[in-house]
Structure 1
Amino acid sequence: MLAAELERSGAGPASVVLPGADLAAAVAALPASSEPRRVLHAWGRTMFTGTAASAARQVDDGFMPLFHLVGELLRSGGKGPVHLLCGYPAVDAGAPGYEALGGFLRTAQRENPRFAHRLADLPEGEFAELIEGRGPAAARLAAELPDLPGAPEQVRYRSGGREVRRWTRVSPPFVARPDALRTGGTYLVTGGAGGLGALVARWLAETASARVVLAGRSPLGPAAEAVLAQVHDAGGEARYVPADISTMEGAEAAVRAAREAYGELHGVFHAAGVLRDGFLVNLDAAQVAAVLAPKVAGALHLDAATRSEPLDFFCLFASLAGPIGSVAQAGYAYANSFLDAFAGWRERQRAAGLRSGRTTSIDWPLWADGGMAVDDEVRESLLRHFGMRPLDTTDGLRALATVLDNVTGQIAYLPGDGSRLAAQLAGEPESPPPPASLEEPATAPRRNRKRSWCGC
């Protein structure tokens, strides 16, 4: 039924990939000419309940089949463009494991510009009918496919209407000392033995004389001891707990350490993460799983471990790799997009009285300190293609203070002249980067972007 509906709609011949399909056969059936190769992928069938198990099932029946499908398409050697429409089921509460597919697909498009994609969020009942070969969803998806390539990247259908995901600009005033922080408050920081976690720990001590529990996978060593000393010298207190928060036992151990040391816990900064870079044609499932574990499973286990804690906030450190894609970082882009979607889900839980603490996911650019090493080639590429430099630590921490007081859900922080990045977030086609100099001053105003749904 679905293939016939696509033909009637004018979408042309297309491969329909439903649960259990032979991915290699589906790709082989596509035309080898320069004509567009159209694929409709509708595989996921799991409802997200907030547990790590339900997220893992969405990864298994949503992300992994799509990961293998895109790999087959990239290795197939076809010369024509690929137009990929991905449908998934969702309820109003959200489906983070499926919503995050956009980060992965944006990376595929950056690695191979012949790719174009769109995500379509369908009501659970309509999606079930689609899989059975009946219902209105077939006609809706058939109408989306011929519209590729082009914006929007994500649509959803609710109550008979079609909505489009849009970014909006917000410019809250910067604050130096956020009201969200309590003087002498207790905060759990993951990834705290190094990287951004260490920067945040010192900032908490300087700003609020905080009591900080640093959680990291490694045993206490010189690096962690140095961070503990810096926190103490900055006016705070600190403990380090060896805990792998990608496991429930590790997350519970970290939260328990905070309560045992200080009696209470007021906020969480989830800054843990690892990289396993590689182009999609060479990437394997094990590399992807290693990247997903600390961010995806870590966030869910921390949420479960703090569910009964009277938190003031639950802050997730994500990356612009999610909303814009990042070459050779498909798993990382997906994991960060998951954090963005999960923040929305958890915030809705808070509104319903099922969680405490405002939820925020911050899509950070590359930091000059505390993150990945930055060489001159990377700096020049960032400036030429995105109009930005690695984020200065002082600027980043001021942005963090502002976000904690003013923002819930997902927000992207665009430092410097964010116009080029903002245009890409809005789905506008990229223009060739203009010549730029590393000495060019960054004088343009900072831009922050939030995502929302708009009827259309």
Structure 2
Amino acid sequence: MAFTIYQPIDGEETIYCEGEITLGAFTQAADGLDLSLLQEQCQQRVLTSEECYQAFRSMGIVYGPYFQGIEKIYVGQRQALAKIHLPVCSADKQDAYTLHPSLLDAAIQSAVGLTLSDAGQGLALPFAMDELVLIGDCLKAEWAFVRQRDEGRGITKMDIDICDEQGDCVLLIKGLTLKSKPVQDAILFYPHWEEKVVAPSFKEEKGHVIIYGAEPKIAQKISEQLPDEVCHVIPYDGDHFDIAGQFVRDAVQVFHIIQGILKAKPTHVVPVQILLFNQSDNPFGKALSGMLQTAHLENPHIIGQCIMLDGDMESDHVLTILHDNRQVMAPPQVAYRGSQKRYALRWKEVPPSEKKESLLWKEGGVYLITGGNGGIAKIIIQEIALHIQRGAVILVGRSQPTKDMQQWLNEWQQSELKVIYRSLDVTDRQAVQRCIKDIKATYGDLNGIIHGAGVTDDHFMIQKKATEFTQVLAPKVAGVVHLDEASQDCHLDFFVIFSSITGVMGNIGQADYATANAFVDQYAYYRNSLVKSQKRQGRTFSINWPLWEDGGMQVTSQQQRQWMNDTGMVALKPRAGIRAFYQAWASPWQQVMVLAGDRDKLCRFVGEQEKEQENDATFYLTLIEQIANNELSEKEFMQLLQSPPSG
């Protein structure tokens, strides 16, 4: 007997399902299911009812009380055993069905639940089945045994045996086909230094040279030998006790220098080169590149470059390096190493890996996440809950939890995975030390840190105040230093820094935020050097994230369209972000940049960051004049940049 389930819509039939029905006598397997043995085989992970439906909600599926029939799922290797029941609210109409929809759906939910245990797995939805065999009274169904059969190209096939309390089967679902919802394509890039000689050129504009961290005598000699340049000397006083304070003081000096150049409203190209000396003692100077990148975006007449110098150099050699790089002010970061070969910083796409992404989390683990009021923190905790049953996550934020956050926290009160929020200003060194000390006293240790705290206060550099600049630096810069120092005796598995692509590319109105993120990127390398010398524990890596779709910081749809048109970039979807997170963890690199959107456009966009751009002088001079007179906002500036005049 064939059947079709359809609905007439506007004179046309919309078909929902087709199949065949065969009537006959069906017998169940003689031995039934050994439920005790299956439970022993499915102990990789145990998902409670609350964890299952919370995971479904995080993926956009909200089941009402009539369809919450899962009590527990025991997950094994390519199989799962689910305890199911008929929800109490459905019991009064149970006699109306042979196949009760609540029980049948609970069994199918169990199959979807099996896919939840895969790291970074996208949502898989059922859309077909080969065969359904009705054997006994389905109202007696209490267990669903799910076995994964085939998998490939986003399609997964499963068989489900539904049985009663004794293990006798009452219903068989054969060849249930699930199709994975496509996970957004996130592209990962890693920084790569490659040898690059300077191409000969006859172009050389006079500009500004910032001598950073050099010995006073060397700095003075270089300045004297550059009479036609504007030289600025920023000494490094070697304050190892206050790494954050030292960097902020130095960054503010560079900020004032660049702001002065902007206020002069140059009508021609102004090179700004930062010579970085003594990299071994002060590895954070290259973070100033984020500020230079932003200055170029706000006034393309300013072209910045950080030049890293290895070891002691004679002043004559330094002058040659300046002269060579002045001819081609690209890419934004170059370094001279060993035999004084020139290396340029490039970003290369992370190659695909056949290695399955590993997990950071472990059963009973204790984790600290800063930026606790943000949306990304919620996403990470929901991901943790998919993989461990017991443990603790301590969320910290500068302010008290919002009303929505408090309501969300209340949902975790009955879970064995404890989610605790506490107010903490990460810029307060002593407060951070007390927090870590309390965590160790309560839980015995701390296993991982994710530093995601950060604030923005968007203003053009020409208008920004130094106090605003330092306030944006503090949560990132002081925060990462204080967290690292306070946790140096903890047995960490990881110390993850959530940075931003702004630290790599700069961003209009965010010179401070770009500088702060560039600093934490460099701190990842610094902390790994401490791990290597056995002064710290746990791998450190930094992820330069784009905007997350549900991450808290939002943009207008107009800005988002501009991103897509100009760069191919779009906001990162949560599941794509989680997958990228695991890919970064599985990769060998200490810093990874994540972008989402059109692959070809994004790869071209990343490549173009390394090229020196030619710009229309009159057009940009007019814009800078309007900015200085408060006649043009950041948003209006972004809109104008979409269609600069030609010729």
The TM-score, its normalising length taken from structure 2, stands at 0.57
Instruction: Name the counterpart of 1:101.
Output: 288
Instruction: Name the counterpart of 1:29.
Output: none
* Match 2:553 to one of 357, 365, 372: 372
Instruction: Name the counterpart of 2:375.
Output: 195
Larger RCO: 1 or 2 (CA < 8 Å, sep 6+): 1
Instruction: Name the counterpart of 1:121.
Output: 308
Tell me, what secondary structure is at the counterpart of 2:543?
A: strand
Structure 1 position 192, deviation (Å): 1.1
Unpaired segments ≥5 residues, structure 1: 1-8, 21-36, 433-456
* Match 1:160 to one of 339, 361, 368: 339
Relative to structure 1, is the Cα distance of residues 239 and 176 closer, same or farther in structure 2, using a 3 angstrom cutoff? farther
How far, CA to CA, are the matches of 2:234 and 2:583 in structure 1? 40
How far, CA to CA, are the matches of 1:234 and 1:374 in structure 2? 34
- Which residue identity lines up with residue 215 of structure 1 in the other structure? V
How far, CA to CA, are the matches of 2:352 and 2:541 in structure 1? 15
Any idea what the Cα deviations from partners look like across 1:258-292, whole Å, max 9, x if unmatched?
A: 22332211100001111111011101111111111
Relative to structure 1, is the Cα distance of residues 105 and 13 closer, same or farther in structure 2, using a 3 angstrom cutoff? closer
Unpaired segments ≥5 residues, structure 2: 1-201, 217-227, 616-647
The 5-angstrom pairing of residues 86-235 of structure 1 reads: 86-92=274-280, 95-96=283-284, 98-123=285-310, 125-126=312-313, 134=315, 136-148=317-329, 151-161=330-340, 162-173=342-353, 178-209=358-389, 210-219=391-400, 222-232=403-413
1:382 aligns with 2:573: no
Relative to structure 1, is the Cα distance of residues 430 and 138 closer, same or farther in structure 2, using a 3 angstrom cutoff? closer
Instruction: Name the counterpart of 2:264.
Output: 76
How far, CA to CA, are the matches of 1:258 and 1:416 in structure 2? 40
How far, CA to CA, are the matches of 2:439 and 2:406 in structure 1? 17
1:45 aligns with 2:269: no
Tell me, what secondary structure is at the counterpart of 2:234?
A: coil
Greater Cα shift, 172-181 or 383-392: 172-181
Instruction: Name the counterpart of 1:324.
Output: 505
Any idea what the Cα deviations from partners look like across 1:179-226, whole Å, max 9, x if unmatched?
A: 321122110001113332232223222332341011111235634423
Tell me, what secondary structure is at the counterpart of 1:65?
A: helix
* Contact 1:317–1:361, Cα closer than 8 Å, also in 2: yes
* Contact 2:209–2:275, Cα closer than 8 Å, also in 1: no
1:425 aligns with 2:614: no
Relative to structure 1, is the Cα distance of residues 174 and 183 closer, same or farther in structure 2, using a 3 angstrom cutoff? farther
Greater Cα shift, 156-165 or 380-389: 156-165
* Contact 1:42–1:87, Cα closer than 8 Å, also in 2: no
C-alpha RMSD of matched pairs (Å): 2.9
The TM-score, its normalising length taken from structure 1, stands at 0.79
How far, CA to CA, are the matches of 2:517 and 2:502 in structure 1? 7
Any idea what the Cα deviations from partners look like across 1:376-401, whole Å, max 9, x if unmatched?
A: 11211221122021111111112112
Instruction: Name the counterpart of 1:58.
Output: 247
How far, CA to CA, are the matches of 2:614 and 2:376 in structure 1? 32
- Which residue identity lines up with residue 288 of structure 1 in the other structure? F
Tell me, what secondary structure is at the counterpart of 1:280?
A: coil
Higher helix proportion, which one?
A: 1
Relative to structure 1, is the Cα distance of residues 378 and 232 closer, same or farther in structure 2, using a 3 angstrom cutoff? farther
* Contact 1:318–1:363, Cα closer than 8 Å, also in 2: yes
* Contact 2:436–2:486, Cα closer than 8 Å, also in 1: yes
* Contact 1:228–1:239, Cα closer than 8 Å, also in 2: yes
The 5-angstrom pairing of residues 342-421 of structure 1 reads: 342-421=523-602
Relative to structure 1, is the Cα distance of residues 226 and 256 closer, same or farther in structure 2, using a 3 angstrom cutoff? farther
How far, CA to CA, are the matches of 1:39 and 1:271 in structure 2? 38
Instruction: Name the counterpart of 2:104.
Output: none
* Match 2:423 to one of 232, 242, 256: 242
Instruction: Name the counterpart of 2:481.
Output: 300
Greater Cα shift, 267-276 or 165-174: 165-174
How far, CA to CA, are the matches of 2:478 and 2:595 in structure 1? 27
- Which residue identity lines up with residue 292 of structure 2 in the other structure? L
* Contact 1:368–1:392, Cα closer than 8 Å, also in 2: yes
Task: Please identify the structure whose Cα radius of gyration is greater.
Answer: 2
* Contact 2:496–2:540, Cα closer than 8 Å, also in 1: yes
How far, CA to CA, are the matches of 1:286 and 1:318 in structure 2? 22
How far, CA to CA, are the matches of 1:231 and 1:38 in structure 2? 61
Higher strand proportion, which one?
A: 2
* Contact 2:497–2:520, Cα closer than 8 Å, also in 1: yes
Q: Percent sequence identity over matched residues?
A: 30
